[in-house]
A and B are shown apart, each in its own frame.
Chain A
Amino acid sequence: MSEVVPLVAAEDTALFGSKAVGLGQALRDGLPVPPGVALAGAVVDAVAGRDEEAIRRVAESVAALHGPLAVRSSAVDEDGADASFAGQHLTLLNVRGAQKLTAAVSEVWWSANSDSAITYRQRVGLFTRPSVGVVIQALVDPETAGVMFTQNPVTGADERVIEASLGLGEAVVAGRVIPDHYRVSREGEILERTAGRKDVAFRSLADGGTFEEQVAPELVERLCLGDDQLAELNRLADRCEQVYGQARDIEWAISGGTLYLLQCRAVTRAGA
């Protein structure tokens, strides 16, 4: 079996990790996931060791993606243990060029082999060598992005909770803005829309990496999602629940007017 495959062909979590297989399944189910490739743990290991053949294979595999890339870790489940390791969830955005790609894959390898990751593994009784897969996707450079819960994670109500901000979704995930907050019923009725305070937007730099851009004053407290976009997000929530089951935690982005699914996982409650 190949250890470098198009994301749509990533089916084995023991090889590619849970994130790669989850996104691969989403593509197989027709969900709007940006195209990409999955690297098995052994390839990540080889790239981090500067194995020239592995580096060449990875470079060839991403040639069709064009433009800047997003490089994400994909933790490999071990013995059924929860692989949500500290330091194992790493996303590097706007990676450009072969050298930067090799460095990004190496950084993911080190994130799984860092002091904090090893300490965590020892605490939960894992004494085997860590393995981490990598997902490389075409970077979505969005106008708007955020997260969506298909059920209210606080009250448990059967409604969509959407948080949205301008630019890359990392502004929301990293807590750098107060995002717009929306609640939408399963039937599509908009129950709440509260503008946040979106002082900054994360944007891609031309030579790689991201920066924080100051948002124009008139946009800081203006709602960034319209009714049509909320309806489209509600349809995406429906589709994700059909494929994966109830109570999903979704990362999404809208770029060039197209809605993309970046990640879909089961809701984890605080303290769980």
Chain B
Amino acid sequence: MSGAPIAVLQRVPLFAELDESELARVASVFKERRFSQGETVIQQGSGAAAFFVIDSGEVTVLVDGIERRVLQAGDYFGEMALIDAGARTATVKAATDLVCSGVTFWDFRPIVEENGVIGWKLLQTLIEIYRSERDGPPAPG
């Protein structure tokens, strides 16, 4: 079966405002993609085509060749590719044999174009992310 787990998509900040039926619509266009251990999944600096959720296996995330973190089943990467297909900010390599669910810019865009509610919620979320980046975390207490 195709599709990404909705529970994972609920944790993606970009989708924070979407309800379950809207998340299900997004999840329905994911396609499975497999990588062998050692394969490069995405390359820093390359144009970005797809957002991935890890179904099984592990990846290492490298920035400028330095390992930054390990991601596992239920983790995700590359969500900004869905909006502007801009350059990848990190390299991701399969640390084990890897099964992902991915959705491309081309398949995501029609969902937004067909559904103004999803589009509007994404805009609101992007503004939230922008404000949080601009203003930093709220002061404690």
Contacts and interface: CB of A to CB of B under 8 A. Distances in A.
A118 B105 contact: yes
Contacts of A113: 49-50, 104, 106
Interface string B99-115: 00010111100000000
B34 A48 contact: no
Chain A interface, DSSP helix/strand/loop, else mixed: helix
A50 B32 contact: yes
Contacts of A50: 1-2, 31-32
A122 B85 contact: yes
Contacts of B49: 113-115, 117-119
Contacts of A115: 42-43, 46-50, 88
B32 A119 contact: no
Nearest to A110: B33
A235 to B, nearest CB: 42
B48 A118 contact: yes
A51 interface: yes
Interface in B1-37: 1-2, 29, 31-34
A119 B32 CA distance: 21
A214 to B, nearest CB: 23
A129 interface: yes
Contacts of A118: 47-49, 85, 104-105
A122 B47 contact: yes
A103 B34 contact: yes
A48 B1 CA distance: 10
A61 interface: no
A117 B105 CA distance: 12
A51 B1 CA distance: 7
A58 B7 CA distance: 32
B100 to A, nearest CB: 10
Interface in A83-127: 103, 106-107, 109-110, 113-119, 122
A115 to B, nearest CB: 4
Interface of B: 1-2, 29, 31-34, 42-43, 46-50, 85, 88, 102, 104-107
Interface of A: 48-51, 103, 106-107, 109-110, 113-119, 122, 129-130
Top-6 shortest CB links A-B: A119-B47, A118-B49, A129-B106, A50-B2, A49-B2, A115-B46
